[in-house]
Structure 1
Amino acid sequence: MSKLDGISPEVIDRFHLDRLPFHQAATAPDELMRLHGARVVVTGGGGADLGQAIVHRFAALGARVAALDLDLDSARAVAEEASKNWGADVFAVHADVTDWDDVHAAVAGAAERMGGLDVMVNNAGGGLKLHGPFLDIRPEDMRRIVDLNLFGVLFSSRAALDHMIPQDRGRIITIASEGGKSRVDGITVYNSCKSAAIGFTRNLAHELRNTQVSTVAVCPGVMVGPHALARLAGEGSRASISALEESYERLNAGRFSLPEEVANMVAFLAGEAGAYVSGTAVSVGGGLSD
C-alpha cells in the first residue's frame, strides 16, 4: 500500500508528492550518508587545505572523484593518496575555473570517464594572500579575486548543469565563507565575492525548483590547515594575522576548525540525508557570523 493512496494524481503532481523519500523511515542514517558510486567533481581538489579534505571525505564514502585543479601535480598527489587510503577511484584533471572553455572541457572529460556527474563541489577560490584595506587593493588584483571566487563558481556550475539537467539529477555545492555573511576585516573584495556566491546559490536553487537538481552553499570560518599554520608561524603579513585575531575573538566555539570538519558538512549535504537542505548557506564557522 502506497502512502499516497487516496490522493488524486493532480494533487500529487501539484506538490511533487511522488518525490518524497518515504523509504528513509526504514533506512539507517549511516546508509543515507553513504555515497557509493556517486560521481563527484571537486574544483580546487589539489588544495592543501579544504580541497584535499573534501576529496578524501568523498573517497572514504565510496564516491568516484575527479580532483580538478590548475596545479595538476598537486591534484595528482591528492588523488593518489586518496585512492591509496580509501580504495576509491580518484583521479586528477587540469582545469582553470576562470576560463569558460577550459572548465567546460575538463568537467565534460571527467563526466565521460565516470559515466555521468552527480555532485559538483565549487571549492576553487581564495583571497590570493591579498589582505589589507580595500583602498590599497589594486584594480588588477580585484579582478583576479573576482575571477577566481565568483566567475569560477559561475563557470563551473554552468559546466555541471550541462550534465545534470539532461539526467534530471544532481547536486551543486558551493564553498562560500562566513565572511560572505558577515564582515571580516582585511578581505573586503573576497568577502563580497562570497556574498555573491551565496546569492547565486539562492537564485539558482529557485530556477531549478522544478527539477531534481539542487544547490546549496557551505560557509567555513577559519580553517587551520597548512596555510593558516604558516601564517601563525610568522610567514603571514601583519594584515593577515590581524584578520585571524579578529575572527578568533568572535568565535562561539572557542577554537578554529580543521578543513576536515568543513568537509564533513560538504559530504553530508551531498548525500541523501542532507538533500532537503537547498538554496541556503550553511554555516560551519564556529559561530563567526552569529
Structure 2
Amino acid sequence: MIEVKDLCKRYEGRMVLDGISASFGPGEVVALVGPSGGGKSTLLRCLNGLEPFDAGTIRVGDDVLVPGASRASGAGVSNIRRRVGFVFQQWHLFAHRTALGNVIEAPRHVRGLDARSATELGRALLAKVGLSHREQAYPSELSGGEQQRVAIARALAMEPEALLLDEPTSALDPERVGELVALLSRLREDGLTLVAVTHEMRFARELASRVMVLHGGRILEEGPPAQVLERPRHERTRTFLGLAREQSAPEPEVSSLEAGRSGVVTLFPAATVRE
C-alpha cells in the first residue's frame, strides 16, 4: 500500500503539487491523466524518492518519505525503491549490455544474487514479457516495444510490490499498445500495484481500475474509468477529453442520411487525448 498525505512540491516558485492526498492499494491499477503540466510525472517520481518534495509524507509499508532532499532519507529511500519499481519514459537501458545483461544487473549488484541465480531469474522474467528469443540482443538491435519490455523485466527483477510507469505508450503504435495492455494485465493478476502516467485514453480505459485526473497540482476527480472518462463531473476534465466540444456540436439531421445508413456518434473523438 502506498499512502500519500498532503503532498506539496514547488519548482522555481511555482506550486507543482498542491496538497495531494491519495492511496494506491495492492493489485490496483491507477491511471494518472490530465493536461500537460498538471503534476502527473512529478507525483510519480515523488512516490519512490526520485523527486524531493516540500511538505507532506509518502508511506510505503513501514517506510516513510519526508520533505527535503531524498538523499537525506537514506535507508528509507533505498527500501522504498526496492519495493516500488520505476519504468522511465526513455527506458535508459545499458547500451553495452544485452537484454539479459540489463535484467540481471540489479539482482546481482543490489540484491546480491550469484551469477547463476540472477541469470535464471533474468531468463524467467524475459520469458514473462515474451522476449526469451531476444535475450542476447543489444538495445540497438531491439524495437521500441522490445526495449520497453526489457525495461519492465529489469524493474520486476527487484521483485517490487508496485510498478510506476511514466508514459508507457508514448513510443508505441496501436498494436504495441494492445500488447502492453495484455502484459500489464497479467502483472495485475499477479497482485502487482500499477500506477501509470498516460495520455492514451484507450490504455486507461482498458487497464485501469481507477482513473485520477490531475490539473494545477491538484486532483480534480477520480473514479472508475467508465465514470471519469465518459461522464466526468468537472468541466476541466470534459474540456481535456474533448467532451465539451462534442456536446456543443449540433446533432446531424436524420434527413441528411442516405437510406439504409445510420449515424454513429463516438464517445471519444480519438484514442489519444493531448494538450
Same fold by TM-score greater than 0.5: no
Which of the two has greater strand per residue? 2
Greater percentage in helix:
1
TM-score using structure 1 length: 0.31
Give the TM-score of the pair, scaled to structure 2. Answer: 0.32
Larger Rg: 2
Q: Flag the structure with more relative contact order, 1 or 2, with Cα contacts below 8 A and sequence separation at least 6.
A: 2
